[in-house]
Homo-oligomer: A and B are copies of this chain.
Amino acid sequence: MNSPIDVAILGATGAVGQRFIQLLEGHPWFRVRELVASDRSAGQRYENAARWVLPGNAPENVAGLTVLPLDSALQSPLVFSALPGDIAQVVEWRLAETGHTICSNASAYRMHEHVPILLPEVNADHVRLIDTQRRIYGWSGGLATNSNCTAAPVTMALAPLRRFGIEAAQVVSLQAISGAGYPGVSALDITDNVIPYIGGEESKLELEPRKMLGAVGADAIDLLNCVMSATCTRVPVLDGHLVSVSVRFEEPVAEADLRAAWADFRGPDPVPDLPSAPARPLIVRDEPDRPQPRRDRDAGGGMATVVGRLRPCPVMGGWKFVAMAHNTVRGAAGCSILNAELIAANGYL
């Protein structure tokens, strides 16, 4: 890359928007040039508009940018979106129509038939739906999403196991508070407590992994043919979503084969060489008590999924395990950035 690609961030003042800014600091390909947020923030310097919730401060080159309103005509060819779903539905489509390429963390278009949910190590070939978008809608840009933050570790852990024929998966999640944004969860609700419910989350977790794990055809994706069941809970953890997964396969599978599938898993070219790709997308821990959110969420710069506790599940007749990934890095902003790198490496930008 000769000169950096200018980038706009939608929803720049929120928790995920801040994570975009943090992760893009010093990025070799991308440079943050435009910050977009709601009318309440527009017109202010970013450092005044945003209450920075990550450690330290907003990076200096970003702190002084003036926040733009949502209806701005943007200059940046690449746009990252951390907008709420309802606003994303309007803004993202409009930006795609006006030539931008949007990598979105919002849920609005995840299940749209012509929009991929990218998890590059798993489904880099889904990126070709951008061609479909350009042909059908006449866009010069495109629109790609990343998954729900909990779907990311579930999908990453299941991806190497597709070869064994996944018939069904049961998931119980223990999700971190940062997944709810800022201010998000009240400390009076979550201190010394578990909230065994996250609105709208379970249906996403039962559907999005099947799309990510599905096969891309001419102009659409065939969902993976398996049944999923999810229970989502919130626990007093800052970052890192942990999931307990039980899987049933079409045929009996040996433990050694599962372990080998995980250990050998790598993304297809050019994914392993993208700037934000972790050295290993899946890390298998052998200790009986890992993965743990606090101790494993930063593995691979927050981009790795850590799995462990593989053992038979007598009820499913298959296997159960625990997986964990950083919800605002691999499960949100970091994944969107990796998606943009994949799109750029494929020449779409």
Residues of A participating in the B interface, judged by any CB pair closer than 8 Å: 15, 53-56, 168-170, 172, 174, 177-178, 182-197, 199, 206, 227-229, 231, 233, 235-238, 242, 244, 246, 248, 288-299, 308-309, 313-316, 320, 322
Bound together, the chains give a CA A174 to CA B174 distance in angstroms of 9
| CB-based contact A231/B168 at 8 Å | no
| CB-based contact B196/A233 at 8 Å | no
Bound together, the chains give a CA A238 to CA B196 distance in angstroms of 16
Bound together, the chains give a CA A195 to CA B235 distance in angstroms of 12
A195 cross-chain contacts in B, Cβ below 8 A: 289, 292
Closest to A321 in B: B231
Bound together, the chains give a CA A289 to CA B233 distance in angstroms of 9
Q: Given B191, B246, B299, which contacts A238 in the complex, CB threshold below 8 Å?
A: B191
| CB-based contact A192/B192 at 8 Å | yes
Can you offer 30 A-B residue contacts whose CB atoms are under 8 A? A15-B188, A55-B294, A55-B298, A170-B246, A170-B313, A170-B316, A174-B233, A174-B235, A182-B186, A182-B188, A183-B189, A184-B186, A185-B187, A186-B186, A191-B192, A192-B293, A193-B294, A194-B235, A194-B237, A194-B292, A195-B289, A196-B244, A196-B289, A196-B291, A196-B309, A197-B288, A199-B288, A229-B320, A231-B244, A235-B235
| CB-based contact B186/A174 at 8 Å | no
A291 cross-chain contacts in B, Cβ below 8 A: 196
The minimal Cβ–Cβ distance linking A119 to chain B, given in whole angstroms, is: 22
Closest to A313 in B: B229
| CB-based contact B172/A229 at 8 Å | no
This chain's copy number in the assembly? 4
The minimal Cβ–Cβ distance linking A247 to chain B, given in whole angstroms, is: 10
Q: Given B55, B182, B313, which contacts A295 in the complex, CB threshold below 8 Å?
A: B55
| CB-based contact A242/B194 at 8 Å | yes
| CB-based contact B188/A231 at 8 Å | no
The minimal Cβ–Cβ distance linking A82 to chain B, given in whole angstroms, is: 15
| CB-based contact A188/B196 at 8 Å | no
Q: Given B169, B172, B183, B288, which contacts A183 in the complex, CB threshold below 8 Å?
A: B183
Given A229-B320, A231-B244, A244-B233: A186 touches B185 (CB 8 Å cut-off): yes
| CB-based contact B187/A236 at 8 Å | yes
A192 cross-chain contacts in B, Cβ below 8 A: 191-192, 236-238, 293-294
| CB-based contact A188/B295 at 8 Å | no
The minimal Cβ–Cβ distance linking A181 to chain B, given in whole angstroms, is: 8
